[in-house]
C-alpha cells in the first residue's frame, strides 16, 4: 500500500489507515484485510522474491539455467521471452507448482525452496482464468478466504468481496455466473479473486493473451492503475513485447533458460546488451558492423526520409538514396520498407506529422534516408 507522496519514490508499502490519498475501494479492502491477514508491512527497498542460482531440469533439458533475480516490493516486473525460454517455469517455481533442481527461492526473505504452493504468500492469475463455473462470481472471489484457518467471519468475507469487486469495477456482479460474463469481465473476476488474499506477489501468467487487441490494451491500463493503487508486487510473464514495455517498471528478458538482460523498458530499448535483446524488444534494423562479431543497429523511428539526399537535414551520419519497396499505413505512423544498394533492405517509421510536411511516398519511388550518429548502436552478435 502506498501513499501519494511515496508513490513516485517507491520506498514503502504502508498500512491502509496511514494512507489518506488511496482510492476508496482499494483502501477499504486493504483495511478489512489488515484485520483478516495482519502483519503485511513490506519495505520497498527489500526484495520480495529472489532467485539464487536457480536451475530447473526436465530430464537432460535445462528449462531454467543458473539464474539470479531480485524483485523489489511494490514493483511491476515482467519476464519477457519467446516460447520455451523458461519464463513460465520460473513463474511456477515462484508459485510453488515446480521446485528447482538446484538453487534457492526466497519470498520476503524466507527460503521457500520445497514449500508447497498453498503455503506461499503469492497468488496466480492464469491465462484462462481457472474460475469455477458452478460458483457465482462472489463465491469465486471469496474462495481463497473461505479456505483460511481460522476462517474469517461471513460478514468480513462479504465485505471483502464487495470491496474487491468494486476495485476491479464489477460492483453488483456478485450473483452472476462465469458464463454470463465477457472475456474482460472474467479477467477482472480472476484478478479480484487473487487480490482479495492480499498476496506478497501477484503472479500473472499471460493473463491477457485470450483478449482481443482493444480489450487487451484497456486491461493493460487497468492492471497498471490497479497495481499502483493496491501497492502489491506484480510479476507478469509474457511473450508480448508491447505488453511488457507499456506496463512494467522493469523487464527481464530470457533466452534458452538464461536471463539475458534486466532493466527498465527504456534501458532495454535504448541500450540493449546484444543483438538478441535489440531484436526482441521493439523493431530495429541491423547492418554490417565493424567486425564479424558485431552488428550495427538503428531503430526505424530514428531514420529520417526525404524526397532526395539534398533535402535530408544537415548533421546526419548516414545519407543514402533508397527505393520504396512497401508501405503500410498504421494510423499514427506509416511503415516503409526501403532498399539501398549499399545497405540492403531496412525499415523506416514516418510519423503523421512528417508526412503532412513532406508528403507520402509511393511504392517504387526513389527517395533518400539517413540517421544521426547517436542513433547507432554497435552490438555483439550473441
State the pLDDT at residue 45: 62
State the pLDDT at residue 366: 97
Q: Which residues contact 181 (CB under 8 A, 6 or more apart)?
A: 137, 173, 189
State the total domains in the chain.
Answer: 2
**Do 321 and 260 fall within a single domain?**
no
- Residue 158 in any domain: the answer is yes
- End position of a domain, from candidates 270, 294, 322: 270
**Do 245 and 309 fall within a single domain?**
no
- Residue 275 in any domain: the answer is no
- Residue 302 in any domain: the answer is yes
- Residue 139 in any domain: the answer is yes
**Do 295 and 260 fall within a single domain?**
no
Distance of alpha carbon 92 from its chain centroid, rounded? Answer: 17
Burial class (CB in 10 A: 0-12, 13-18, 19+), 212: exposed
State the pLDDT at residue 44: 57
**Do 127 and 98 fall within a single domain?**
yes
- Residue 336 in any domain: the answer is yes
- Residue 359 in any domain: the answer is yes
Contact 349, 301 (CB under 8 A): yes
- Residue 168 in any domain: the answer is yes
Q: Supply the range of the domain harboring residue 374.
A: 285-380
**CATH number of 81's domain:** 3.40.50.300
**Do 159 and 236 fall within a single domain?**
yes
**Do 179 and 302 fall within a single domain?**
no
Which residues of the chain are under the pLDDT cut of 50? 1-41
Q: Which residues contact 59 (CB under 8 A, 6 or more apart)?
A: none
3-state helix, strand, coil in the chain (%, to 5): 35, 30, 35
**Do 230 and 352 fall within a single domain?**
no
**Do 221 and 366 fall within a single domain?**
no
> Side-chain half-sphere of 331: how many Cα atoms within 13 Å?
0
**Do 191 and 102 fall within a single domain?**
yes
Q: How far apart are CA 93 and CA 98, in angstroms?
A: 5
Give the cell for residue 258. Answer: 538464461
Contact 244, 80 (CB under 8 A): yes
**Do 145 and 266 fall within a single domain?**
yes
A 10 A CB-CB count for 299 gives 19
Residue-wise pLDDT tens digits, 28-57: 444 444 443 344 445 556 899 999 999 999
Contact 119, 148 (CB under 8 A): no
Q: Which uninterrupted H or E stretch holds 163?
A: helix 154-167
Residue-wise pLDDT tens digits, 84-135: 999 999 999 999 999 999 999 999 999 999 999 989 999 988 877 788 889 9
**CATH number of 311's domain:** 2.40.50.100
**Do 261 and 335 fall within a single domain?**
no
**Do 176 and 320 fall within a single domain?**
no
State the pLDDT at residue 7: 32
Q: How far apart are CA 144 and CA 23, in angstroms?
A: 24
Contact 354, 306 (CB under 8 A): no
Q: How far apart are CA 206 and CA 87, in angstroms?
A: 10
- Residue 79 in any domain: the answer is yes
Amino acid at each position: 500500500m502506498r501513499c501519494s507522496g511515496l508513490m513516485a519514490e517507491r520506498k514503502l508499502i504502508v498500512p491502509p489507515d496511514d494512507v489518506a490519498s488511496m482510492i476508496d475501494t482499494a483502501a477499504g479492502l486493504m483495511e478489512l484485510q489488515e484485520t483478516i491477514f495482519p502483519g503485511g508491512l513490506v519495505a520497498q527497498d527489500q526484495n520480495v522474491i529472489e532467485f539464487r542460482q536457480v536451475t530447473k531440469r526436465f530430464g537432460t533439458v535445462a528449462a531454467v539455467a543458473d539464474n539470479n533475480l531480485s524483485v523489489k516490493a511494490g514493483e511491476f516486473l515482467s519476464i519477457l521471452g519467446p516460447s520455451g525460454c523458461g519464463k513460465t517455469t520460473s513463474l511456477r517455481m515462484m508459485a510453488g507448482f515446480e521446485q528447482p533442481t538446484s538453487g534457492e527461492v526466497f519470498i520476503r526473505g524466507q527460503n521457500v525452496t520445497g514449500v508447497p504452493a498453498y503455503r506461499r504468500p503469492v497468488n496466480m492469475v492464469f491465462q484462462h482464468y481457472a474460475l469455477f463455473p458452478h460458483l457465482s462470481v462472489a463465491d469465486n472471489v471469496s474462495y481463497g478466504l473461505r479456505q483460511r484457518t481460522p476462517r474469517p467471519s461471513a460478514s468480513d468475507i462479504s465485505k471483502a468481496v464487495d470491496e474487491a469487486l468494486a476495485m476491479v469495477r464489477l460492483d453488483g456482479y456478485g450473483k452472476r455466473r462465469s458464463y454470463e460474463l465477457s472475456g474482460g469481465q472474467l479477467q477482472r473476476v480472476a484478478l479480484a479473486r487473487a487480490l482479495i488474499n492480499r498476496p506478497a506477489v501477484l503472479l500473472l501468467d499471460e493473463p491477457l493473451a485470450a483478449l482481443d487487441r482493444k480489450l487487451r490494451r484497456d486491461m493493460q491500463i487497468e492492471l497498471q492503475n490497479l497495481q499502483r493503487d493496491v501497492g502489491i508486487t506484480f510479476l507478469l510473464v509474457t511473450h508480448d513485447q508491447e505488453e511488457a514495455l507499456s506496463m512494467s517498471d522493469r523487464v527481464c528478458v530470457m533466452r534458452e533458460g538464461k536471463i539475458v538482460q534486466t532493466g527498465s523498458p527504456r534501458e532495454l530499448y535504448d541500450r540493449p546488451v546484444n543483438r538478441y535483446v535489440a531484436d526482441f524488444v521493439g523493431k530495429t534494423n541491423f547492418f554490417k558492423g565493424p567486425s564479424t562479431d558485431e552488428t550495427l543497429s538503428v531503430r526505424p523511428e530514428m531514420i529520417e526520409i526525404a524526397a532526395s539526399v539534398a533535402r535530408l537535414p544537415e548533421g546526419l551520419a548516414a545519407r543514402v538514396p533508397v527505393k520504396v519497396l512497401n508501405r503500410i499505413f498504421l494510423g499514427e505512423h506509416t511503415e516503409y520498407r526501403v532498399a539501398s544498394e549499399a545497405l540492403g533492405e531496412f525499415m523506416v517509421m514516418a510519423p503523421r506529422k512528417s508526412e503532412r510536411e513532406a508528403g507520402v511516398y509511393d511504392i517504387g519511388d526513389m527517395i533518400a534516408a539517413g540517421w544521426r550518429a547517436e542513433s547507432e548502436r554497435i552490438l555483439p552478435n550473441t
